[in-house]
Structure formats: C-alpha cells, structure tokens
Amino acid sequence: MQKLSRPLRLGTRGSPLALAQAHMTRTALRARHGWDENAVEIVTVQTSGDRIQDRALAEIGGKALWTKELDRALLADEIDFAVHSMKDVETIRPAEIRIAAMLPRADVRDRLVGAASFEALPGQPVVGTSSPRRAAQVKRLRPDAKVVLFRGNVATRLAKLAKGEAHATLLAAAGLDRLGQSDVGVAIPIDLMLPAPSQGAVGIETLSGNAAMLDLLATISDTDTFDCVMAERAVLVGLGGTCHSPIAALGRLEDGQIHLRAEIISPDGQETIGDALRIARSDVATAETMGRSLLERASPTLRALFEA
Ligand SMILES: NCc1[nH]cc(CCC(=O)O)c1CC(=O)O
C-alpha cells in the first residue's frame, strides 16, 4: 500500500478501446493499492493516428502515430504514465521512455466477423482489413479473396461491414472483448492465423528516469505477459519489421520456458517462412536471432519487404 501526495496522471488515446484499457489500468492500480477513485486521473491525448482515418497506417507513418503525442506528453511531464495496446507501440522506443508494465494478456486470437469460417465465405470474397499480416494470411487461406482497406476504430470497421463494404473483416478478440462485444465474430484458431506480435497485451510506459513510477507500475505488471510480449517484440527487432511487413509472432509460457512461434508471409499468401522455438524467459537475444533467420530463409521478394 502506497500513499499518494497527488493524483497520478494516466495518459491515453481517446478511442473507446483506449479508454477501456485506461480504465482497466486504473482499476488494477486502485485494487492493488487500495486507492479511492480520485487517485488516478485519466488524461486523453489525441494522436495523429486517430485523426487520419482514410489511409493505411503503413502509408502515413506507421505506429509512431499512436505513440508520438503520448511520448511528448510524458516528456513534458503532462502525464505520469501512458497506457497503450502493445501492438501499437513501435518496436524501438526512445531511450527516455520505458515499457514499465503489462496487464495480464487477454485472448490473443483474431476473430472473423461476417462469416462462420473462411470456407463459409462466398467465392471471391471481399475481406476488409488494413493489416498486411491479416491480408496475407487471408490470401493464404483464400487465394480468391480480394482484400480492401478497412481502417478506423473497431466500431467504424463494424459499421463498414454492416454497410456491405466487405463480406467479412478481422478484429482482435481482445479489443472486441474489452468493448463488451464478445458476441461479435468467431475466434480463428492460432494454427490458422498466428496473431500479431503483442496482440492482446496492454502496456504501460513511463520515463526511464522515473524510478518511483517504474516501481509503482511493476506492482501491477504480469511477468508472464511481459516476458512473452518482449520475446515477440525481439523477433520484430531481428526482422527490422515495421507495420508495412506481414509478421506474426506469439510467445506462450510452457513449463517455465517461452514457446515462441513466428512467421512472415508474402502479401499474396503464397510464401510463409515460419519457425518455432523454446527459449528461456527474457532471452531476447535468441528471439532476435529467430527473426533474422526467418529473413535469411525468405525469397528475395519477401525479404525485400523488410528492407526499408
Ligand atoms: N491496430 C488497432 C488495434 N490495436 C490493438 C487492437 C486490439 C487490442 C489488442 O490487440 O490488444 C486493435 C484493434 C484490432 O486489431 O482489432
């Protein structure tokens, strides 16, 4: 139990999913420390990722769009910590900012919305997504599919689907669940569609120099989630991956070790290079090597996607 001299300022984006995750974080802190509802103040920061909705993320500057303004607010001491979907946090972070904690991970799978299964989709199905990974995995499962750009928050994408802009779309189960939409879509087995690195994990960042805040946030961190997600992110480092690149990775704890799976997929779904490995917890070096070795095995065209 820790006493506070003033309310803590929790920075978040303003999307419904971001706010839900901010509230989860506040609830975890309050429960752990016995604080009242005024102990954590939620500060919403609009990001350019939220403002620009009509172009693919990869096209307009990538994941930095989600973090830049929250990074700035942290550095300007406008907030004490920032809550993010780990999936949206860039692989390489500024030295001044540290991933301090992660909440227990939710369902890591993707859900197919609009059809009961990939086989149940009509011929030449139109599938809406803006994720290169999901697009490639869809093409692998359904080479006859046409992938169209779907961006915007979860509600916007569901509205596009309802308007008939596609036969189906794919959304993270974690996001749907946190928005109270657990009844939407059908979970796709991991073996059919390996999720994005960090999918389903909520992370909390603070300044690397703020030892008190790092200690405080550690009190609500789920170490299993943290170690697995860090291993997945290390694969991304090895790949030099950005969100332009179709990459899937998932780490799971098995008998005290991380069972790490990763794959890269060509945009047409015809080439998959994958690997699975058991590594010690926090052996990020081996995870990084795994990423690099995927690239070495890829065809020149697939490898070219990773050369910025
Ligand atoms: N890029 C958007 C985004 N970032 C995190 C989630 C879902 C929540 C999570 O994976 O933790 C989503 C929506 C989606 O992919 O359906």
Helices (H) and strands (E) in the chain, counts: 11, 13
Taking CA atoms, 153 is separated from 9, 70, 156, 160, 231, in Å, by 24, 18, 5, 11, 27
What's the pLDDT at 54? 61
| Predicted confidence (pLDDT) per residue in 108-166, tens digit | 999 999 999 999 999 999 999 999 999 999 999 999 999 999 988 899 999 999 999 99
* CA distances, 242 to each of 72, 90, 298 (Å): 21, 8, 17
- CA dist., res. 44 & res. 119, Å (int): 42
Q: What is the pLDDT of residues 183-230, one digit of tens each?
A: 999 999 999 999 999 999 999 999 999 999 999 999 999 999 999 999
pLDDT of res. 149:
93
What phi, psi does 130 have (nearest 5°)? -115, 5
pLDDT of residue 307: 83
Q: At what angle do helices 154-162 and 16-33 cross, to 10 degrees?
A: 140
Return d(Cα 225, Cα 188) in angstroms, integer.
Answer: 21
Positive or negative, the CA dihedral 221, 50, 307, 192 is positive
- Higher-confidence position of 306 and 62: 306
Catalytic residue among 88, 107, 227, 283: 88
Please, what are the domains in the chain?
A: 1-105+201-221 (3.40.190.10), 110-187 (3.40.190.10), 223-308 (3.30.160.40)
- Return the biggest CA–CA distance within the chain: 62
Q: What pLDDT shows up at residue 56?
A: 61
Known catalytic residue at 88:
yes
CA of 110, closest atom in ligand 1: 16
The pLDDT, as a whole number, for residue 230 is: 98
In the three-class reduction of DSSP (H, G, I as helix; E, B as strand; rest coil), residue 134 is classed as: helix
pLDDT of residue 66: 76
* Pocket (CB within 6 angstroms of ligand 1): 85, 87-88, 154, 171-172, 174-175, 199-201
pLDDT at 152: 86
d(CA 112, CA 217): 34
Q: Is the pTM above the cut of 0.80?
A: yes
As a whole number, mean pLDDT of residues 40-47 equals 91
Quick one: which atom of ligand 1 is closest to the CA of 157? 16
Residues with Cβ within 8 Å of residue 150, at least 6 apart in sequence: 128, 129, 130, 157, 160, 161, 165, 166, 169
By the 10 Å C-beta count (0-12 exposed, 13-18 middle, 19+ buried), 126 is classed as: middle
Sign of the C-alpha dihedral, residues 270, 157, 108, 115?
Answer: negative
